[in-house]
Structure 1
Amino acid sequence: MNKTIDIGQYVETAINWLTDNAKPVFDVIKNVGNSSILGIEWALVNTPFYIIILLFTLLALWKAGKGTAIMTAAGLTLIFLMGFWKETMETLALIFVATLTALILSVPLGIWAAKNQFAAKIIRPLLDLMQTMPAFVYLIPAVLFFSIGKVPGAFATIIFAMPPAVRLTTLGIESVPKDIVEAARAFGATNRQILFKVELPLATNTILAGINQTILLSLSMVVIAGMIAAGGLGEKVLEGINNLDIGLGFESGLSVVILAIILDRITQGFVKKKTAK
C-alpha cells in the first residue's frame, strides 16, 4: 500500500539537517559527555572495591535501614565475586551522568508546566511520545549525532528517563495547597520566594519519587545502550545473547537487577526520611 502521508521522511530530513548543520554543537556535547562519564568511571573503577561497597552500605544504612544495608553489602560483594565489578562501575557512571542531566532538564520543565497552562499543553503530549516510543528508535538519532560510544547511550537514556521526573515535578507543584500559597503571597512573598521557599519544599517528596523512577528507567536502558558500544553490563548481556551463553546472560542480568534494587531502595529511603521529618 502506498503512503498517503510520509511523516518519517520529514523527521529524517530534520535529523539529517541537524546532523549536517549542528555538528560543532554535537561535538562539544560529545566531548563534555565523554569527559564526564570517563572521569566518573575512572574514579569508580580505580577506587578499591571494598571502599565502594562500604560507602554504599553506609548510605543504605543511613537512608534505608539495616536490612537494606545488609542487602547492599551482600549484593555488591556478589557482583564483585562474579567478575562484573568493572562493568558495574561503567554502568553506574553512565547512569549517574544520564540521570543528573535528565533531572537538570526535567525539574525546570516540570515547574514550567505547572505554572503555565500553554506550556503544559505542549509538554504533556511530548512526554507521552517520549514514554511510548520504542526505546530502540532513540538509538538512530543518537548514533547519527554522536557516532557510537557512551555519549549516544547516555543521550538515548536521557530522553527515555526524563518523562517521570517532569510529570512528578509538575504534580508536586500543582499539589501544594492553594491556601498556603495565598497566605505566603498575602505576607508579601514574591513569585520566586513562593517557588523556592514554599512550593518546592512541599513538593520535595513527589520530586524525589520522580528521581527514583528516572534512575530505574535509566537502568532499563542499559542493555539497549550496550548495542551501540556504551559499555558496562549491557554489553555483557548482549554478549550472552549473541553467544547463547545462558550463564553469562544470567549473571550479567542479575548484576543489573542487584544494582537496580540497591539504587531503588536508597532513593526510596530519601523519600521516607523526608516524609518522617
Structure 2
Amino acid sequence: MNIPKLPLGKAVEWLENWLTTYLGPLFDFIHAVIGGMVNGIETALTILPALVLIIIITALAYWIGKWRMALFALAGLLLIDNLGLWGPSMQSLALVLTASVLAVLIGVPLGVLCAQSTGVQNTVTPILDFMQTMPAFVYLLPAVSFFSLGVVPGVIASIIFAIPPTIRLTNLGIRQVSPELVEAADAFGSTSGQKLFKLQLPIALPTIMAGVNQTIMLSLSMVVISSMIGAQGVGAYVYRAVSQAKTGAGFEAGIAIVIIAILLDRLTQKLVKPKKG
C-alpha cells in the first residue's frame, strides 16, 4: 500500500515565502537592531589596543576568580594575539555576546512564565525539545532566507540553538524554591512581583546562571557553523582550514576558540560562587 507523501517540505517553504513577503519590514528592523548590537560590541572590544584590553580582562578575571583564572586569561589572550587571531576572536566574541544577551533577555522571562504556569510549561517544553534536537545546520536555512548572509543570521541561529537551557533552568530554579518560603512571603502580604524579585529569583540565581553558562557555550559552538553563511571571525578561519585541509591553521584557530570558551565558562561560573585563592 502506497501512502502519498505528506507535503511537509512544501508547506514549510510556503510559510517561509509568506513570512518573507508580508513580514519583510519586521525582519529588516530585526536585522538592523542585531547588526547594530554586534557592531557596537565589536567596536567596544577593538577600540582599545589588544594589550590594554588583555590587562583589563586579566584584572577582571582576578577580581572574579583570583590569581589562577587571571594567569590563564593573561597567557591565553596573549597567545591569541601572538597567533594573529585577536581581531577575528573579537568578532566571534561579539557574535557570541550578542546572541547570549538576547537569549537571556528572552529566555529568563519565558522561564519565569513556565514556572508560574503549568499550561505555559506544557506548551513550551515540546518546542524546546524540538529546538534542541533539530540539527544546528537546519537553522541556517530560514535565517539566511529572512536575513540574508552575514553575521545577523548567525546570531539568530545561535539564539534558537542556545536559548533552551536558559528557559529550562530558570523554570527549574524557580520551581525548586521551597514552598514554605513562598507561603511565608504570602503570609507577610508580599505581591507576586515582590515574591519573584526578592525571593524566588535570588534563590534560583545559581540554577539560572548554570543555564546562562550553557547558553553561552552553545552560542560559542555555533561560531564555526555561522561562518558557513558569511559570519566573520575565528570560525571562518576554522572553516577555511577545513576546506583547504590546513591542519596547523585549523588547530591555531581551534585553540583560540577553546581559550575563549574556557574564559567565558569559568567567569560565568565564578560570578555566583565564592572566591577561592
In structure 2, C-alpha distance between the alignment counterparts of 1:148 and 1:117, rounded to whole Å: 39
Query: Where does the alignment leave 5 or more consecutive residues of structure 1 unmatched?
Result: none
What SS does the corresponding residue of 2:75 show, helix, strand or coil? helix
Instruction: Check if 1:135 corresponds to 2:136.
Output: yes
Paired residue for 1:215? 216
Question: How far apart are the structure 2 equivalents of 1:47 and 1:260?
Answer: 22
Separation (CA, whole Å) in 1 of partners of 2:123 and 2:215: 21
Shift of 1:235: 0.5
Mark the runs of 5 or more structure 2 residues left unpaired by the alignment.
none
1:205 is the counterpart of 2:206:
yes
Q: Distance in 1 between matches of 2:59 and 2:177?
A: 33
60-69 or 105-114, larger mean C-alpha shift: 60-69
Distance in 2, matches of 1:30 and 1:269, equals: 33
Q: 1:2 to 1:245 in 2, by over 3 A?
A: farther
Q: What is the CA distance between 1:56 and its match in structure 2?
A: 1.4
How far 1:33 sits from its partner (Å)?
1.1
Match of 1:272 in 2: 273
State yes or no: 1:156 paired with 2:157. yes
Q: 1: CA distance between counterparts of 2:120 and 2:35?
A: 32
Structure 1 counterpart of 2:110: 109
Alignment of 1:1-277 (within 5 A): 3-273=4-274
2:151 aligned partner, one-letter code? K
Q: RMSD over aligned Cα, in angstroms?
A: 1.4
Q: CA deviation at 1:9?
A: 2.2
1:67-116 alpha-carbon deviations (Å, 9 max, x no partner): 11101110000000000000000011111111000001000000001111
Q: Distance in 2 between matches of 1:236 and 1:73?
A: 23
Q: Deviations over 1:188-210 (max 9, x none)?
A: 00111111111011111111111
- Shift of residue 46 of structure 1? 2.4
SS of equivalent to 2:271: helix
Q: In 2, Cα distance between the equivalents of 1:3 and 1:118?
A: 35
Give how far 1:3 is off.
4.8
- TM-score computed with the length of structure 2 as normaliser: 0.96
Matched position secondary structure for 1:273: coil
SS of equivalent residue, structure 1 residue 65:
helix
C-alpha deviation, 1:273, in angstroms: 3.0
Alpha carbons 1:148, 1:229 under 8 Å: kept:
yes
Q: 2: distance between equivalents of 1:23 and 1:2? A: 37
Number of residue pairs the alignment of both structures matches: 275
Give the TM-score normalised by structure 1.
0.96
Q: CA deviation at 1:6?
A: 2.8
Letter of the aligned partner of 1:61 in structure 2?
Answer: Y
